Structure 1
């Protein structure tokens, strides 16, 4: 990206709507309620021929530094200091307010380029607010409609004029040609059946942090980053948007998603909370590994178990983190109790990795990251067909398939059809008659014999093709 732009303004002027317009996706939550956005959200924007990094910020309201609004103000100030240019959004329909004048004074003190964006200019009676914007002393305002996409060309020209052609359009770097290895894998260009692909230790990893409200999700990510990147506090439900942050752990890029706390469905009544939970569910589907944060002082609430079950049904790799470990007094007794409850209450995720941590002090974070990497390895694992069929034969010898309606089931062939999560197909007679108990027996055997703890395993049954079926029909 060439430069960074911050979108600032008082609450409910359309900052998140403009952010979604520039990034081309509905990433930020949008609602008529003032103060929806709380954390600063980065994104990759494109405006005609301009490509830049953009930051959506919270609506600015002056309050005490220790209050929630005061902490939101501090987050926005950090975004302004980080950016090369600020888009100061005002509501042309409502006109200027004392809060707008206060923000204009703050932006002037920063000494960085500022563009006044008069949003909602398509509304009737917006001309008065547009002309009032000249009194801010920040140059000619740019009238737009973020909702309908009007005025985007004028906004593009204003950005280029504020930054200059050289800053807005840096020279392109020549891409060096790379040699492509086109050698065949295995004999005849086909990968050997016995070969199992190695795990790529260098690829970026997407991790979502989920849990109940006030479990310490944002505090944990801030501890990983070593800075107050996300808004935290004693209030429950501070996080609303799913915010992504990137950092390096031992040379590997980790992209973490902070999500809103998920309460029981019956308690979620407000539209804004429904949007926040839906955004958290999208983050779970986009991630590879999901860390479920438990409050170690009150673990295994019903909602905790439902969140774990949701993650496993989505097919994600799951890791449990018992946060606030610094508040636990008898470590050994509590740890033994948590292990027993994990095995008893989560039988569908036998062997799931669970790590005691403290986002406040940093205790156990290295062990948590190691558990995430190990779980992702299992989630990506592939097993050769030859090994699976030898294993299937031994399983049938130890515990033959049951007879259903007086006829014995025959399991003929097994192969892995996918990874992420591991999925297997077994060719058999009468797949619809395989009892659920035998499916669980096979899944538990796969976990134990191929070392695949804690990840969802899918086993599908398919009837084998009968080559003589067409001849039998002709005979009839």
Structure 2
């Protein structure tokens, strides 16, 4: 386990910019508007050889506990309880505020070591705020610029005495896994859907804790948050590792007008690219809407394995009719991938969640499957014999053999002649046969056609 460092401060002092600087990539959304970050975000950081886990938190605000800012503050308090070091960030250009002093008083009462950072200290404009930070009584402040990378060496020196004794052995950082180990690797599972479908509530139920911020307000989640979790199969008692990815709600493009929501939706789409399996969460009280099909099509275009879960099943009306109606609408609206896994779940009661995780592991196995070339071509010959390709205009289309070019998603190449004349309907016939008879179930399949070049044909 890596030692954990938490970033704390009031809104808009540059916490997420510092987080991105330490992880070496733009993982957290950053904007001039305060209060962008709402949930805790974890990242693996390395500073001059010092390895640690960095935690970005929501801006600390002095509001009532039941309000959204109050619930965000509760998330920060929970994060501090597990941290090894706290980085308290103030704005050197704006100077200290009463809220900074309140946070400083709270941190002084904590047993966690605190390092005080005066951010935005580049140039002469930050000198006054840097000197003012001494009054917080948290030791010498370190002047940094998270945006420009200044002061990182001083931060390293401050972190070293706290984190050096906690560094794990070098062999705990293995080389990248090979192809055969992928099925034993953690399942990367993204939860997507429209706003207020219950994505964060579902993940909290899986974890057994209020890890993610939830509430009646739509659009609470902004950043895509990845959480490492161990799932125990209730049937076999085997424990499997899962990386759960919570994402922002995705509305119709025409309805997304605010810059921050556009950034959040783009981050959700980026999260889909890095997932292996994607669960599209529907709201049982609203059924299947056109936007759900748009999201599903996007997931399939990216080649991810897709499954559908109908949430709020505990309050669904005419459950049987609803399920059958959604099943029919999915098969009609996503004809390219019929028979997608469809499950009824409840994030409130926990109904169907174990079945959902088990199905996700199963569909990842199909998504990662490779068929030996000999077995693949035996199936191919049988398929051609049962339904030979057409001969448009009396010209015979010759399909010679097939090979699997890739996995995740499975991709195949068919070799032959006059393949430019092969109709789409015959390609669908082959793809449906592979799903049905080769164990690819409902995962997206890529099928390419390649004709042998005629050496006597002049260009």
In structure 2, what is the equivalent of residue 183 of structure 1?
none
Q: Give, in angstroms, the shift of residue 126 of structure 1.
A: 1.5
Q: 2-side partners of 1:199 and 1:27: how far apart?
A: 27
- Equivalence for 1:381: 369
Structure 1 match to 2:236: none
TM-score for both structures, normalised by structure 2: 0.93
* Match runs of 1:173-322 below 5 Å: 173=169, 202-250=184-232, 251-322=239-310
Aligned twin of 1:371: 359
The change in CA–CA distance for 1:33 and 1:173 in structure 2 (over 3 A counts) is: closer
Distance (Å, rounded) in 1 between the aligned partners of 2:169 and 2:434: 50
Question: In the TM superposition, what is the alpha-carbon distance from 1:170 to its structure 2 partner?
Answer: 4.6
Report the 3-state secondary structure (helix = DSSP H, G, I; strand = E; otherwise coil) of the residue aligned with 1:239: coil
- 1:199 Cα deviation after fit: 8.8
Q: 1:37 touches 1:241 (CA, 8 Å); kept in 2?
A: yes
Superposition pairs for residues 66-465 of structure 1, below 5 Å? 66-161=66-161, 163=162, 167-170=163-166, 173=169, 202-250=184-232, 251-465=239-453
Corresponding residue number in structure 1 for 2:55:
55
Give how far 1:171 is off: 7.0
Deviations 1:46-72 (A, max 9, x none): 111311111000000011111110100
* Counterparts of 1:233 and 1:123, CA distance in 2: 42
8 A Cα contact 2:287 2:322, kept in partner: no
Q: Secondary structure at the match of 2:251?
A: coil
SS in 1 for 2:197: coil
Greater Rg, structure 1 or structure 2? Answer: 1
* Residues 289, 376 of structure 1: 8 Å contact kept: yes
User: Matched residue of 1:157: which SS?
Assistant: helix
Give the Cα–Cα distance (whole angstroms) in 2 for the partners of residues 23 and 317 of structure 1. Answer: 28
Aligned partners of 1:2 and 1:168 also within 8 Å: no
Q: Give, in whole Å, the separation in 2 of the partners of 1:243 and 1:123.
A: 34
In 2: Cα distance, 1:27 partner to 1:371 partner: 29
- Report how far residue 334 of structure 1 moved: 2.3
Any conservation in 2 of the 1:201–1:252 contact (CA below 8 Å)?
A: no
SS of alignment partner, residue 262 of structure 2? helix
Per mean C-alpha deviation after superposition, the further-off stretch among 315-324 and 271-280 is: 271-280
**Are 1:2 and 1:169, in contact at CA under 8 Å, matched by a contact in 2?**
no
CA contact (8 A) 2:278 2:305 kept: yes
| Comparing 150-159 and 446-455, the one that deviates more | 446-455
Give deviations 1:409-431, integer Å, cap 9, x for gaps.
11111111111111111111122
Shift of 1:368: 0.6
Q: Tell me the CA shift for residue 441 of structure 1.
A: 1.5
The alpha carbon displacement at 1:200 in A equals 6.4
Distance 2:197 2:213 in 1: 14
Hey, what does 2:235 align to over in structure 1? none
Worse-matched range after superposition: 167-176 or 416-425: 167-176
SS of the residue 2:13 aligns to: coil
- CA distance, structure 2, for counterparts of residue 111 and residue 446 of structure 1: 60
Q: Is the 8 A contact 1:217 1:293 kept in 2?
A: yes
In structure 1, how many angstroms separate the alpha carbons of the residues matched to 2:408 and 2:73? 41
In 2, the alpha carbon distance for the partners of 1:199 and 1:380 equals 11
Structure 2 CA distance for partners of 1:174 and 1:280, relative to 1, 3 Å: closer
Aligned 8 A contact 2:117 2:142 in 1: yes
Take 2:46 and 2:181, find their aligned partners in 1: how far apart are those partners? 35
Residue 216 to residue 366, structure 1, CA distance change in 2 (3 Å): same
TM-score by length of 1: 0.90
- TM-aligned CA distance change 1:66 to 1:346, over 3 Å: same
* Structure 2 counterpart SS, 1:369: helix
SS of the equivalent of 1:249 reads: strand
Answer yes or no: is the 8 Å Cα contact 1:115–1:141 preserved in 2. yes
Q: 1:345 to 1:175 in 2, by over 3 A?
A: closer
Cα shift readout 1:39-97 (whole Å, capped 9, x = no counterpart): 01111111113111110000000111111101000000111111111111000000011
